[in-house]
Structure 1
Amino acid sequence: MEITRRGFMKGGALALVGTSAIPGFLTRSVMAEMTTAAANKKKLVVLFQRGAADGLNIVVPYREQNYYAMRPTIAIKPNEVIDLDGFFGLHPAMAAFKPLYDQGHLAIIPAAGSPDTTRSHFDAQDYMESGTPGVKSTPDGWLNRALQAELLRGKPSAFRAVALGAEIPRTLEGKVPAIALDNVLDFSVGGRGLQTSPMSNAFQSMYDQSSDAVLHGTGQETFEAVKMLKATDPAHYQPAAGVVYPKTQFGNSLKQVAQLMKANLGVEAAFSDIGGWDTHQNQGDANGQLANRLTDFSEGIAAFWKDMGDEAENVTLVTMSEFGRTARQNGTGGTDHGHANVMFVLGGQVKGGKIYGKWPGLDNDLLNEGRDLTVTTDFRRVLGEAAYKTLGAKNLELVFPGSQVAPREFLNFI
């Protein structure tokens, strides 16, 4: 495999490219110098549901009569929803979320989304990941800027920003170096029958022979991260007792996030995503295509939460999707591109067990463009509060330029 400098660079960040699982017993050496958030052990996890999840069937407004009129075959029946507050209920495939809600760790924000009304997956994802709806020229991602806005104290960890995947996502592109991890087994060393991988050897050779200031400056942090991972046993991580992650790509990604965070390597921000939400056909109701996605989604997150144990007290996890689906089902048993959606916030400091934001209603004359749930909570208010209170990103104008997001606009779910 040919490894080039360009293969490790994307959007100003360095990516380690592999293909399956992060190693297990990561070195537990605590960094001598950390950033403020890392020193305070605060961690922010951002999960993107790619494809536009159907928020109306995820958190069901089962007391809205028009909900059933508009969805005659795909609506979740009142006796099937998992009741939350007498008006909203969870899709039955999300049973794993109910204990988190009841314990006060999970906050729910329906009717959340972007003020931009595009129905293009590409544009909407770009706007949400850049944090600048309607502006295509933004060079970096909101989460990278949130790390830039944080007050630094000392030298940051090479693991400060981590993405689970083959490349740095738009969300983490920017000045702060980020590492993309997909298969760190490719960077394993000899021992227990393992051999140094060609990819690892190529990376080390490229580093040794290069005079590139980037590779020997910021890149050195990434290379040190590789060496730290190589010094560990990559195959024997054991989640906490009783924790079973879904045997899916998403479940594996969250297990890897937990591994990294529990290893005390200075992770402050982690990103992962889960696809399969574009349910134009045969969406299903309490069972079917959407239900299968929701089972993976909710059980993966619940397993991550339990796996983190006492350390979950310092974690904030936020979910997002580029837009919701139409309020009315279409002619093929699915839903089309809509507007408002639902966001979840899970955390040790979260004031959960509550629905936040303003519900706009589903009467025909209240729908966006006569077809979608209306956005009443700008997604940047949710992300801004999470970044401000978890990472200590006080300069919200830097994080979300022009948004006027400020503490006075917070929903106060933390």
Structure 2
Amino acid sequence: MNDLKENRVLNLKNNLIQYALNNFLNMDNFDFSRINKTSYLRKILNEKEIQKLLDSLISKIKSYKNINPYELSIKDSEEIKKIVISHLLEFDKGKYFFDKHFLKFFIDKGYLDVAEDFINRAKKEDGNLSGEEIFQAMRNVWIMNSLQIIWDMSLDLTPSIYAYSMLYPYTDNLLDNKDIDLQEKNRFNHILTKTLKGEKQISSNAYENRVFALIQDIELQYNREDFTQVYDSILLIQEAQIESLKQDQNTTMTEDDILPISFFKGGSSVLADAFLVKGNLSKEEMEFSFEYGAFLQLLDDLQDTIEDKVEGHQTIFSINVKGDLDKNILKLISYIFEVNTPNSSDSQAMVFMKEVIGSCSLIMVMDAVGRNHSLVSKKLYKNLESFSKVRLSFYKKMESQLNELNKTFNLKY
């Protein structure tokens, strides 16, 4: 029985990696005629309006700066929420980043309500979590919420969404912690894998006890007998986490070595998200989820290129020079839009969400290039900037102001 299960999981893994990789490798340079250019004057005007809104937002919430976010009253929390929502709606109304009113759509759907519920529960259950760690987990909640909308489900913080979103910040942080030796990481991975397979393990510390409790929360929603693929998918992301440790070793890797690992890690993460949202998936739903995760992983790698170069973490961006970076960035943009091209069987919600995902992902590429212009050639920089609604350099300026805003709450929203 175990051999059959292992073969099933292995086949799922290999088929999805091959499918996604083939699609990525077959991408040509992106056809920029698919999107609209923005004039230089419009960029400047957009930046001025964005700056006004940011200044207004910072001004209106600065009175809450010295309040511990763990001690905010209900009234204060509601007032901050109103201020944030009103400014988000103004950003949306002006179409300073998107051509459609995406933000209003998400607010109306309840994204901020789910985020608030998640933050409150996370702070209540673990007061030692930093704002950055909570935000790291909340990013996964947003992805799972997106999948709920794509599949016409109500937006909800289910037990599995909460537990899984909290699980991998814990495990990621342990595996990324350079103060923990490889032997301890391997021991933890060994017992975590057994736990994910349904084998009871005895925790040796409070950290492991917390991880095991989160897995039990998932089991309460999805029993192992009826939802085998839920646990197959979680095992895949655990295997991918272990596999990705190779990227930090001294052995020099090529793109051909790195890409399958990156696709496996990113793809399996959102695949698990999808199974935990829906319980069971069709072949097409698995393929979309896996590719969604694959390009999100590449986006993360692009954003972390300089840091990864310094730390010796090998990605297709950190090992390459400008010419190859240009090629890979253009291939990534093309891949993102290909994955998010609607097909005839898509529901109205899925068509809309694919447009949202494509637009947001392109902005993430522009943001990464804008903050690290040395990554790319002048030609690509200028080309990307011509399609951005602001100058690429403005993203870095805006980021510093948002970081200042984050300090007000001591929590990175």
Q: Using structure 1 for the length normalisation, give the TM-score.
A: 0.31
Between Structure 1 and Structure 2, the one with more helix by share is 2
User: Which structure carries more relative contact order (alpha carbon 8 Å, separation 6+)?
Assistant: 1
Between Structure 1 and Structure 2, the one with more strand by share is 1
Q: Using structure 2 for the length normalisation, give the TM-score.
A: 0.31
